[in-house]
Amino acid sequence: MLGFHKDFVVVPLTWPDADQTGTISSDIISLKNYSHVDFVIKVGTAIGKAAAVTLNKSAAVAAATVALGFTRYYSTGFRLKYITPSVDTAAAADETATGGGGGIGYVYQDTGTELICYAFNGTTYVDAETVTLSGGKTVVASGIQIDEDIMIPRTAASNTFDLAAVANKQYIIPIDAADLGDGYDCAQVEIADCDTVTYITIDAILSGARYMGAFGKTALYD
């Protein structure tokens, strides 16, 4: 923990609560004393439906009602190693990879020996099964769903993305203070109705402190 309070500060913006059946509005974070924040969203139990994530901004730690634009985010991924590909051509990004047992993943990159995927449907692949890519390539799984803690870069469309209706997923949205634009230094995470009772937490990891000390400046007050 040598970097804690020196290189970064972690601030909970919501606390674990099973009764999150409606929209979720996080606490508002101030970037007045920090140059960067990574918003970390963790989904525990599977949600009932895909839920849209958006960001808002404000000039003070009060109601944040102005949309904050962003394009980058990360989501939980995994590696699926394989052998005996039917063709040497790499699968394209965003192809689906469907296992014989019903597992479905979404390809970020095909390296020639493994599929790096950014999401899956919650059904685990089976070692030695045939995996069919939506572009027509087939492979045989040989080392299933390893490195399940890797975070895969994604692109948000129109300043939003959906939480998948799958349990145990993590998402990270990186935001620089400069992204807020003139007159704004506060930001908030909004998550649309998930339809069912679930566990979702939102944390802020702040870095680039403008003032060094034994304890970082607060980000909950402006």
In a domain, 148, yes or no: no
DSSP characters over the chain: -TTBTTTEEEEESS---SB--S-EEPPPEE-TTEEEEEEEEEE-SPPSS-EEEEEEEESSSS---EEPP--EEEEE-EEEEEE--SSSSPPPTT-EEEETTS-EEEEEEE-SSEEEEEEE-SPPP-TT-EEEETTS-EEEESS-SB-TT-EEEEE-BTTBEEE-S-SSEEEEEEEEGGGG-TT--EEEEEE---SS-B-EEEEEEEEEESS-SSSPPPSS--
pLDDT of residue 1: 47
In a domain, 39, yes or no: yes
Residues 47 and 99 in one domain: no
Question: pTM of whole model > 0.85?
Answer: yes
pLDDT of residue 197: 61
Q: Are residues 136 and 165 in the same domain?
A: no
Residue 31 and residue 60 share a domain: yes
Residue 60 lies in a domain: yes
pLDDT reported for residue 134: 98
What confidence tier does 63 reach under pLDDT thresholds 50, 70, 90? confident
Domain boundary among 141, 173, 193: 141
CATH of the domain at 23: 2.60.120.380
Identify the pLDDT of residue 56: 97
- Overall number of domains in the chain: 2
